[in-house]
Amino acid sequence: MNCALAPEHTDLSSRRLATELRSSALAELRRSGSVSIDLGRVESISESYADELFGMLAVGLGIEDFVRRVRILHANRHVLKVIAQALKERLEQERGIAARAQIQALVAAKHAQRYQHRHC
């Protein structure tokens, strides 16, 4: 069984502090396979903190693994809403990046195909 990680502060806004907690969460994930993050003392959280901690974990793990392996404990309604919004925006951004990369690869393949046909 894993222990719960908990931020020291009640108001979370620093990406640097979120990065530190994310590193601890990743270490716990490697050690035990899951992690709990106790937000019971947290009164407020910025979208940038939520993105850096939860959004980046979700992207790194994949959303299915994130849901299965990361537990958010004792968060108030406002904190949960900010986390949900940060996750939504981060995952939409990642999907957009993946879609653009796929389109660029298709365009490059099409150009390469045209180039080969011209020189045959």
Tens digit of each residue's pLDDT (9 = 90 or more) over 45-90: 999 999 999 999 999 999 999 999 999 999 999 999 999 999 999 9
Banded model confidence at residue 3, pLDDT cuts 50, 70, 90: confident
The first and second tokens of residue 89, run together, are 């925006």
> Which residues 6+ apart lie within 8 Å of 53 measured at CB?
18, 19, 21, 22, 25, 37
Does residue 117 have a pLDDT over 60? no
pTM, two decimal places: 0.80
Question: Sign of torsion, CA 31 35 39 41?
Answer: negative
Q: How far apart are CA 60 and CA 38, in angstroms?
A: 20
